[in-house]
Amino acid sequence: MTTSDRTSASASIPAWKGVDSTQADLPERTEVVVIGAGISGTRVAQGLMNSGAQVHVLEQRTRLGGGMATRGMGICSPLLLDPPFRLVSAVGLDVAREIVRFTSENLDILKDHLQPTGVIYASKGPDEAREVDHNLEALESLGIPATPWTSDLIPDTGPGWHQPLGGTLRPRVLLRQWGQDLPVSYATRATKITNDGSDLVVHTDNGESIRADMVVMTGGAQITPWAQDKFHTIRHQAVATSPTEPTLSAPMHIQYGYTSARQLDTGELFVSGCRWATPHLEVGETDDTVIHQKVDGRLSAFLEQHFPGPAKAGITHRWTGIMTSTCDGLPIIGPLPGRPRIISCGGFGGFSWSLAPRAAQAVVEGIVTGKANGVPSCFSTRRFD
Ligand X SMILES: Cc1cc2nc3c(=O)[nH]c(=O)nc-3n(C[C@H](O)[C@H](O)[C@H](O)COP(=O)(O)OP(=O)(O)OC[C@H]3O[C@@H](n4cnc5c(N)ncnc54)[C@H](O)[C@@H]3O)c2cc1C
**Chain residues in the site for ligand X (CB under 6 A):** 35-41, 58-61, 66-69, 71-75, 189-190, 218-221, 223, 236, 238, 260, 272, 321, 323-324, 346, 348, 350-354, 356
To ligand X, the closest distance from the beta carbon of 236 in angstroms equals 4
What are the CA-CA distances from residue 29 to residues 69, 162, 300 (Å)?
27, 50, 50
Q: How many residues does the chain have?
A: 385
The DSSP bridge partners found for residue 234 are 283, 323
Q: Which is nearer to ligand X, 210 or 313 (CB)?
A: 210
To ligand X, the closest distance from the beta carbon of 65 in angstroms equals 6
Residue with the closest Cβ to ligand X? Answer: 219
Q: Which is nearer to ligand X, 93 or 301 (CB)?
A: 301
* Rounded Cα gap, residues 141 and 80, in angstroms: 16
What is the CB-side half-sphere exposure of residue 284 using CA atoms within 13 A?
Answer: 6
Q: Which is nearer to ligand X, 157 or 222 (CB)?
A: 222
To ligand X, the closest distance from the beta carbon of 320 in angstroms equals 6
The bridge status of strand 190-195 relative to strand 184-185 is unpaired
To ligand X, the closest distance from the beta carbon of 263 in angstroms equals 13
Q: Which is nearer to ligand X, 24 or 129 (CB)?
A: 24
To ligand X, the closest distance from the beta carbon of 42 in angstroms equals 7
Q: Which is nearer to ligand X, 209 or 260 (CB)?
A: 260
Q: Which is nearer to ligand X, 133 or 208 (CB)?
A: 208
Q: At 365, which helix (H) or strand (E)?
A: helix 352-369
* Rounded Cα gap, residues 259 and 216, in angstroms: 31
To ligand X, the closest distance from the beta carbon of 130 in angstroms equals 26
To ligand X, the closest distance from the beta carbon of 239 in angstroms equals 9
Q: Which is nearer to ligand X, 59 or 128 (CB)?
A: 59
Shortest CA distance to 75 belongs to which of 207, 192, 185, 171? 171
Q: At what angle do helices 39-50 and 171-179 cross, to 10 degrees?
A: 30
H helix intervals, the chain: 39-50, 84-91, 93-110, 126-130, 132-142, 171-179, 293-306, 308-313, 352-369
* Rounded Cα gap, residues 96 and 91, in angstroms: 6
